[in-house]
Amino acid sequence: MRLIIAEKPSLARAIAEALPGAARRDDGALVVGDTTVTWCLGHLLEQAPPDAYDPALKQWRLDHLPILPAEWKLMPRPRARGQLAVIRRLLKGAREVVHAGDPDREGQLLVQEVIEHLGWKGPVSRLLVSDLNRPAVQRALARLEDNARYQPLFRAAESRARADWLYGINLTRAWTLIGRQAGHDGVLSVGRVQTPVLGLVVRRDAEIRDFVPRPFFVLWADLEVAAGRLRAWWQPGETHPLDDQGRLLARQPAADLAERLPGAEGRLARLESRDRRQPAPLPYSLSALQVDAARRFGLSAKAVLEICQRLYERHKLITYPRSDCRYLPEEHFASARATLEGACRTDPTLRGWLAGADFSRRSRAWNDKQVGAHHALSPTGKPADPSRLDKAEADVFRLIARNVLAQFYPPLVTREVKAEFAIAGEAFRASGQEILEPGWKPLFTTREEAPPLPPLTEGETCRVREAGVEDRETRPPEPFTDASLIKAMMNIGRYVEDPAVRRTLREHDGLGTEATRAGIIETLVERGYLVRRAKALRATRLGSALIASLPDAVGRPERTALWEQRLGSIAEAGDDPAPFLASLVTDLHGLLSSADAGRLRQALANARGEEPAPAGRPSARRRGSTARRRGTGTGGSRPTRRRRSS
């Protein structure tokens, strides 16, 4: 018997349907001829708790830290024991095993750890499925690979799981224990990803809170030129009081000039014009889709992920959604027309866009060199049944299809014009943009662009018809939203102060993964560290105090971003995981030595932040369960039954 082990039941059903012959159900499996397809339920195994290594560790004590397992143990998740028994039984009759986890680091781990935990010693092949439709699964079945090729991916995922355990268990226990000494009765969860994300929000909130607005002043002049009228803006020179962004800090110079300007003549001293060709935005990665869907439809990152999972598993309308790639395989280009015609058939908006597509065009999106374990989100070609999709599902599906359709539209061509006028011995600037060829732009917005400047000729004269001064104030940064926080996590290098680290992160940018970013935000909300106010995400008093009490490096992104870089080297270059884990243990000793109840007590006393809505706080048991689920990416400790305070 050939035994195929899928990551989840939906994938197992898709594989069984793609095999020749009719499938019959067995206990926890599907049988098609000589092939049996079974499944995991996400992670069937989890890292054992500290007391599995030593019963004395069930009690939380500072003198037990750091906890460093000599030999790592896994244990079945409570709800997974039945399916684990099914796989154990089927392995006894198998001659070959096929690993059919999702095509990513975590998918490699969760199936392979089961195979190894149950002691299978025979051959293992690897099946990579990113599209659940029958033709795509049949193609994948025809090109099985040796699972040994993916050992580096497994070692990286295993190292991530162990490192998260070490970091989360030890720091969470340490800060919870000093929290008790400081008067806080509850678990203070610390994780290598969740805590830097919390730190981003806490620091942004502090910038907003401490912001002191400063007045500045701008002077405009409405000019008459040969071909019409335009508005230009004064560019005050260095003899005037300016801030570091060139803004005028005193009103009087602008007011004096405004009085003299009406009726004054000048000339167009310099004219710059250039045409720009912009290719269509690339197809979506999950994070890019979460950002756009949040802005356009107000959907949370978690909601977008859940919608994508339904579109992938239940409706089979899109390819594998948890992708960090925005490119498509070159072999998909030949079938793109048929795929999109099928995908757009039942949606009037998509049909209209399809009519304008030129399938002889080949955009930069088709690039095998940019495609790794995943490719960008794209339609499978299956027509959507409008009666089975809710509005949010239809909206998200339309975005995914639109970005692929846009690859078959011409570039957007614009003309950008910059003009500088010399009037009364001062410089005035105006700029405008004209759309020459709309290309893909109508698929993305129906908004009217700002009117372009009238035709201009360098050296021509102008006359000031009217002038005025506007009083303005500097504005604080905007609070984070789901969209902007996901974007910050995608581009975490922008928040790194060390120039050398920032350079290192250019190719390894990102905090969390496509699969975990939404879960990280929700975990922070559930644990009472963040709260939603309308669309804004704000830190609570508890969240602010936790960041203030931790060593600065724990609440900043440098450590975890470089950590992901090391894991990438293990996965892609086959680096040995041992030095990575050894360096983490060294770091832990230093971090634990800095745990200070006095500092935490002061942080709790000084904390300023939002209070979570009382009705919206889940119970301690429910909040703790979040860390158990695959995909949270919190790096926190294994949940305990201790009560958490609100």
* CA 44/CA 113 separation, integer angstroms: 9
SS3 598: helix
The pair of three-digit structure tokens given for residue 332, joined into one six-digit string: 């998909």
SS3 517: helix
Q: Which residue's entry shows tokens 């090729």? A: 149
Distances (CA, A) of 435 to 338, 345, 457, 554, 562: 31, 31, 19, 48, 43
* CA 627/CA 630 separation, integer angstroms: 8
Strand (E) or helix (H) holding 224: strand 215-225
**Please, what is the Cα angle at 282 between 302 and 328, to 5 degrees?**
95
Torsion region of 528: left, alpha or beta (phi above 0 gives left; psi -120 to 50 gives alpha): left
* CA 541/CA 246 separation, integer angstroms: 37
Distances (CA, A) of 133 to 126, 190, 311, 316: 19, 41, 12, 6
* CA 261/CA 468 separation, integer angstroms: 9
Partners of 37 in the β-ladder: 4, 30
Exposed, middle or buried by CB within 10 Å (0-12, 13-18, 19+), for 392?
Answer: middle
Partners of 46 in the β-ladder: 75
Distances (CA, A) of 160 to 48, 165, 170: 15, 8, 15
Catalytic residue flag (residue 320): yes
Q: Where are the alpha helices (DSSP H) in 314-347?
A: 336-344
Secondary structure (H, E, C), 526-582:
HCCCEEEECCEEEEEHHHHHHHHHCCHHHHCHHHHHHHHHHHHHHHHHCCCHHHHHH
The pair of three-digit structure tokens given for residue 71, joined into one six-digit string: 């030999």
Classify the C-alpha dihedral 400-403-409-414 as positive or negative. Answer: positive
SS3 76: strand
DSSP letter at 498 equals -
Q: Which residue's entry shows tokens 């019409």? A: 228
**Nearest Cα residue to 105 out of 561, 439, 514, 487:** 514
* CA 604/CA 595 separation, integer angstroms: 14
Annotated catalytic residue: which of 150, 320, 495, 529? Answer: 320
* CA 163/CA 182 separation, integer angstroms: 28
Please give the distance of CA 39 from its chain centroid, rounded to a whole number.
Answer: 28
Q: Where are the alpha helices (DSSP H) in 142-182?
A: 151-181
* CA 229/CA 126 separation, integer angstroms: 67
The pair of three-digit structure tokens given for residue 623, joined into one six-digit string: 């909040």
Catalytic residue set: 320
